[in-house]
Amino acid sequence: MEIIKVAGYTHEEKKHILRNYLYPDAIKNAGLSSHIARINLVDGFRDFLIDNYAREAGVRSLKKFINRICEKIAFRVVDNPEDEETIEVTIENVEDFIGPPIFQSKKIYAETPPGVVTGLAYNSVGGAILFIEATQGSHPKTESGAAPTRGSLKVTGSLGDVMKESSSIAQTYAKNFLFKYFNE
C-alpha cells in the first residue's frame, strides 16, 4: 500500500497550538481571564477533543470548539457569580459543552460475518470505516407489474453516484465469479 503525505498539523502540533494559542485566546475572548484558576481541562481532554471533534488538517474546528467550551463556562460563571468551585472539562462531560463527538471510532464487527464487507469513506476532513451489508430480499413486483430479473440490485441510503457505480461493479464481479465457479 502506498502512503501519501497530506499537508497539515500533526496531533502533537495541534495540542501545542491548542495549549499555547487557542485556549488562551478563547479564555480572553470569553472574558474569563480573571477566572482562569477556576477552569481545569483534565489530562487526556485535549487528545480526546482533537481525535473526536477536530480531525481536519488545520485547526479551524479546534478553535471553534474550544471557543464554544469557554463561552459555556462563561455562562456558568455569570449565572453563579458567588460559586467559587472549579469548573472541570473532562472527557465524560465534554458533550455538555459541545455536543456529541463528530468522529467516533467504534468497531461494529470484530470479524465480519458473511454478506458484510468493510469499506472506506473519505472527504476533505478525514475518513471513516463503513460496514456494507448485503442481504437476500424478496422480489416485489416492479411498477409495470412484472417480477424483477433474478440477481437484481437495490441500494439504499444516501449514496452518491460513485457509490452507486461501485455497487453495480461489485454486483457484476460477483455474478461473473459465480458463473465461472459453477460452470467449471
Per-residue pLDDT of 150-165, as tens digits, reads: 677 777 777 778 778 8
Tens digit of each residue's pLDDT (9 = 90 or more) over 71-104: 999 998 888 878 888 899 999 999 999 998 887 6
Q: How many CA atoms lie within 13 A of 179 on its CB side?
A: 7
Neighbours of 95 (CB within 10 A): 10
Do 86 and 15 lie in a common domain?
A: yes
Q: Which residue type is seen at 129?
A: I
Residue at which a domain ends, from 98, 130, 149: 98
Residue-number span of the structural domain to which 64 is assigned: 11-98
- Same domain? For 45 and 120 the reply is no
Residue type, 44: G
| Whether residue 121 is found in the same domain as residue 76 | no
* Overall number of domains in the chain: 2
Would you say residue 64 lies in a domain? Answer: yes
Whole-Å CA distances, 102 to 7, 13, 51, 57, 127: 22, 21, 9, 15, 12
Same domain, 88 and 137: no
CATH code at position 34: 1.10.8.60
- Give 14's pLDDT tier (boundaries 50, 70, 90): very high
